[in-house]
Structure 1
């Protein structure tokens, strides 16, 4: 098995949370969750950093990363969270799409709901795929 990529447009919210939760909950030490965006922001959204700290995950040192075809070729699966047609197609890489709302410009309470949805999706994804 190889790494799993979580992708969204800006790599500043949903995909950062998903990769962090994947790495927290996975049971296979040889697999890691990474994240990237098709049009990366300059930083992780401040509200996302704050709500993740509430659950013990520090994203303060994370920097959004550009999703390139070369990077996508290093993973077995890409889980997209709203980047739609802008995600690169890579032969042999499985694409899974989760329509999850962007936490950007949301209130703390709205962002917490999104965070909790992502964490549950990650737990289900790990259980289904035995990661």
Structure 2
């Protein structure tokens, strides 16, 4: 069985949503991707939606919504926090790490592009560790 990965940040509207989308795109052979937060926003960050669609052809508004931690499966194997700058939500898991990403919300497109590319690299590294090292299993 593939491990379940939860990408967590406070509002579940930007970085964690991008990570869920890119996890599904690049690592669905290695793990299941979910995202959630302790609060939700009515819509996913529109700059994040636009950038992910332009770079990767993924429409996050068609495939994802802003979710609370209670809305995702309880048996999460790997928790990835995005870099909350506040107390990150706690979820029990076999492995936990913080990616320390600055929130690009309200910034220029190049900040979103940099964040998306960083998340892509981190997702690919996580995929490798799950497949080669059995992380989260």
**Fold in common (TM above 0.5):** yes
Normalised by the length of structure 1, the TM-score is 0.86
Normalised by the length of structure 2, the TM-score is 0.83
Deviations 1:36-84 (A, max 9, x none): 011221111000000011121111232210113x846221111001235
Q: d(CA) in 1 for partners of 2:129 and 2:3?
A: 16
Count of residues in correspondence between the two structures: 128
Change (3 A) 1:103 1:85: same
The answer to whether the 8 A contact 1:73-1:93 is kept is no
Q: Equivalent residue for 1:125?
A: 126
Structure 2 spans left out of the alignment, 5+ residues: 133-137
Name the Cα RMSD after superposition: 2.0
Structure 1 spans left out of the alignment, 5+ residues: none
Q: d(CA) in 1 for partners of 2:94 and 2:10?
A: 19
